[in-house]
């Protein structure tokens, strides 16, 4: 399947990164969010990232201009009519995602693939909200998208082989490494990563060590680039909580129970780096 125009829905930290790498790979891209100001914020992040590439001598100024020209702001879902691939990167909530997929199914051309960047939610259930479940797939990028090489590709129960192959090829064109997994809660990446983060939060909750000590131990002792609590703040504590809830509900095992401290922080609006406060301060 020939993909030329991509729509990225959600201009937050993931959506802006996905739109950036798609435009850099030569695709025409619509970056969509609920309000113009949200799209502008995402576009601002992209401009800053590209300017850094130019300053470092890795990108020519006219190349930057060409990448930016391939990006179009959108607040109208009707723009999906012009797209071959739609990548959804909105909040990690099944109801929000299925409502969106129902609308996209109406607007997107028949041949278009609907992909979700969900961290943990069942692709099969998202697909069932559309009349084209064979064209729905998980395309899970890692944060920060311009830097991280992996795209975890999740096959829903009904995802067609040619759709999988198309998404594998698009991922390679984005200079990413695709890895195939089946549809199970948290897939592979977050089934393994998120219980570690949750355990680190439990260690702080139980007073075993400070966040600084936990992070220092995992950085220096295990060679992790970021400690688990710095990483949780970086991912977003709301996203971490929603992923743990999906694992807990999906497997029904107490080992996935979200730490009460994580719930408390999210209820307080302490969402990590994006809100200015989490386990650390970012003012
Ligand atoms: N956007 C774009 N580029 C970024 C960036 C961002 N948010 N943050 C860092 N970079 C770039 C920097 O510009 C720098 O690029 P150059 O080498 O070209 O200058 C490069 O990344 C390294 O950055 P720094 O030197 O500033 O810092 P660092 O060496 O500590 O690396 C990091 C930063 C790459 C983020 C590193 O700390 C890291 O790998 N952290 C772990 C990230 C991780 O685990 N991600 C997965 C999260 S889980 C997930 O995404 C799945 C999910 O569903 C929740
Ligand atoms: P974010 O909060 O930074 O951004 C979400 C964006 O979606 C916001 O700009 C919001 O305005 C927009 N949005 C919400 N509802 C919308 C709707 N109905 N229509 C259009 N736009 C809408 O979140 P994020 O961290 O970018 O995460 C987005 C998705 O990517 C989630 O599913 C998350 O699980 C997944 N993900 C996150 C990470 C991470 O490290 N943060 C990594 C991989 C995948």
Residue of 153, 155, 118, 117 whose CA lies nearest to 133? 155
Residue 114 and residue 130 in contact, taking contact as beta carbons nearer than 8 Å: yes
119 is catalytic: yes
* Residue 1: predicted pLDDT: 83
Task: List the domain range (segments joined by +) for residue 218.
Answer: 191-274
pLDDT tens string 190-218:
999 999 999 999 999 999 999 999 999 99
Q: Is residue 279 part of a domain?
A: no
ipTM beyond 0.90?
Answer: yes
Q: Which pTM was predicted?
A: 0.97
Within this chain, do residues 95 and 172 fall inside the same structural domain, yes or no? Answer: yes
Within this chain, do residues 213 and 79 fall inside the same structural domain, yes or no? Answer: no
Within this chain, do residues 86 and 154 fall inside the same structural domain, yes or no? Answer: yes
Q: Does ligand 1 have an atom closer than 6 angstroms to the CB of 54? A: no
Q: Which residues contact 241 (CB under 8 A, 6 or more apart)?
A: 258, 262, 263, 266
Sign of CA dihedral 197, 198, 199, 205: positive
* Residue 176: predicted pLDDT: 98
Within this chain, do residues 155 and 37 fall inside the same structural domain, yes or no? Answer: yes
Q: Is residue 281 part of a domain?
A: no
Question: Which domain-ending residue is among 182, 215, 244?
Answer: 182
Please state, rounded to an integer, the average pLDDT across all residues of the chain: 97
Q: Is residue 282 part of a domain?
A: no
Residue of 148, 158, 14, 155 whose CA lies nearest to 87? 14
Rounded Cα distance between 198 and 231, Å, is 11
Query: Can you give the CATH number for the domain in which 49 is found?
Result: 3.40.50.720
Question: Which domain-ending residue is among 182, 214, 229?
Answer: 182
Closest ligand (CA of 218): 1
Q: Does ligand 1 have an atom closer than 6 angstroms to the CB of 16? A: no
For a pocket test of ligand 1, which of 147, 175, 227 has the largest count of ligand atoms closer than 8 A to its C-beta? 147
């Amino acid at each position: 399947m020939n993909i030329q125009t991509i729509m990225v829905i959600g201009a937050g930290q993931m959506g802006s990164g996905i739109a950036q790498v798609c435009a850099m790979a030569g695709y025409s891209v619509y970056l969509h969010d609920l309000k113009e100001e949200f799209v502008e914020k995402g576009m601002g992040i992209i401009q800053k990232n590209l300017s850094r590439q130019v300053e470092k001598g890795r990108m020519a100024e006219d190349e930057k201009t060409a990448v930016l020209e391939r990006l179009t702001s959108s607040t109208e879902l009707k723009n999906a009519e012009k797209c071959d691939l739609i990548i959804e990167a909105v909040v990690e909530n099944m109801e929000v995602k299925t409502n969106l997929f129902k609308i996209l199914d109406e607007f997107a051309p028949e041949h278009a693939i609907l992909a979700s960047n969900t961290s943990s939610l069942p692709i099969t259930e998202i697909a069932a909200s559309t009349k084209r479940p064979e064209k729905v797939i998980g395309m899970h990028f890692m944060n920060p998208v311009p830097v991280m090489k992996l795209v975890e590709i999740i096959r829903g129960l009904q995802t067609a082989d040619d759709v999988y192959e198309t998404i594998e090829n698009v991922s390679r064109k984005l200079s990413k490494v695709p890895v195939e997994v089946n549809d199970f809660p948290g897939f592979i990446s977050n089934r393994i990563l998120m219980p570690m983060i949750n355990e680190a939060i439990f260690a702080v909750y139980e007073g075993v060590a400070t966040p600084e000590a936990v992070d220092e131990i995992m950085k220096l002792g295990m060679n992790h680039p970021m400690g688990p609590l710095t990483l949780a703040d970086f991912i977003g504590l709301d996203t971490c909580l929603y992923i743990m809830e999906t694992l807990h509900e999906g497997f029904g095992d107490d080992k996935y129970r979200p730490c009460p401290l994580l719930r408390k922080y999210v209820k307080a609006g302490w969402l990590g780096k994006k809100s200015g406060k989490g386990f650390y301060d970012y003012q």
